[in-house]
Amino acid sequence: MRRISLPLPRVRAKLARFFREFRHDSEGTTVIEFALVSIPFVVMILAMMTVGIHFLTSHSLQRGVLDAARQLRTGEAQKAGLDLDDFRELVCNAAGSFISCDKHLVIHIKSNAKFAGLAPATSCLTNGKLTPSAGNGTDAVSSRSGEESTAVQVTACYEWEMGSVFWQTIWDLISPTPILQGKTVLSATTAFRSEPYR
């Protein structure tokens, strides 16, 4: 079989012409430029959406705690004979659909004659798990909130599941909040002195 070989100068000339044409050919540059610009842009948009979802969930939790705690502050919950499960339901109803009223939500209520006696604040995590609520769900809410003119602290801890591994991964990269087994733990706290409602 005969080998066909091109003379070396001809090969060099063809390569040089190819690179000259390639350098001046602008077809496809728009696609490459768009790809380079769009990737960081899409990542930034996704991060903004994730932060927005986090803000709405945090705000919903805080609103639920503040609205429910108002009934403790005015004595409505105590006078109505609500138990801890009823109070938890008040938090859930006020928080709305962003908060799941299940095992992922834990409510802590503690009271003292003085605000200094409420320190330290209840930690949301104990040994890598949500700190369980003190007391039984059927206990009267007054067993934890105390009577009138008492300093009260209400803390809600919520193990936030974003519903998607994709969104959770993005949040894990930018999250300033504690992460429990791949889930973000949100908290909302309020402290007040109950009114002399009797």
Secondary structure letter of residue 116 according to DSSP: G
- Does the pTM of the predicted model rise above 0.85? no
The 10s digit of each residue's pLDDT in 124-170 is 988 888 999 988 999 999 999 998 999 999 999 998 876 566 766 77
Please give the helix or strand (H or E) that residue 50 lies within, else none.
helix 29-74
The 10s digit of each residue's pLDDT in 100-113 is 899 999 999 999 99
Asked if the model's pLDDT at residue 1 lies above 60, the reply is: no
CA angle 161, 98, 157 (to 5 degrees): 60
